[in-house]
Amino acid sequence: ANILGIQALQHAFPELKHVAVFDTAFHQTMPSHAYRYAIPAEYYEKHGVRRYGFHGTSYRYVAQEAGRVLNRDSNRLALVIAHLGNGASISAVLNGKSQDTSMGLTPLEGLVMGTRSGDIDPSLFSFLSENFAMSVEQTTNMLNRQSGLLGLSGLSNDCRTLEAAAKEGHAGATLALEVFAYRLAKYIGAMTVACGRLDALV
């Protein structure tokens, strides 16, 4: 879909320079112990199966802005940055470089999001297949589009709606917000480990 857009614009504006900015590029500084999965090496070596991370353009900007706001050199800071929204991730940024991030091969890994589950036991695929005859495609769709805050609450993926409903005593909304906050807090601790110290949480 992204390439189609570029091609259409190249056709419409052939005189303009077109630049692709990859959301994963910022995380290419992660050490191998952060980006490798604990699966047979051939899947990485032959097929590039590894953790790539996303939201990189946001992290680069926010790390620079944090330095400006703190009146410190962003290339000398240990930051844990949480990119929170319907798609949510968190990253450890040390001296301007990504050390680790919560999203992996795809944006599904990591934090609980609006409609994405975040971290899940991979055996869920075989469990749902064996017990409910769900295909890989059906399970993937459920984990990406029907889970997260929406799935937990049974109400909405919008925190404004969930906060209002929780105040009214809606158990699903309360649980969704609690799970979201708890998983985020666990990841803040993990990303602090990846930085080795913490100067600011953004």
CA distance 80 to 200: 7
CB atoms within 10 A of CB 200: 16
- Closest residue by Cα to residue 58 from 34, 75, 83, 76: 83
CA 15 to chain centroid: 36
Q: Which of 23, 119, 158, 199 is an active site residue? A: 23
CA distance 92 to 62: 12
Burial of residue 97 (number of CB atoms within 10 Å: 0-12, 13-18, 19+): middle
Is 199 designated active site?
A: no
CA distance 196 to 187: 14
> Tokens standing for 53?
């991370």
Q: Render 60-97 in DSSP notation, one character per residue.
A: HHHHHHHHHHHTS-GGG-EEEEEE-SSS-EEEEEETTE
* CB distance 162 to 156 below 8 Å: yes
Residues serving a catalytic function are 23
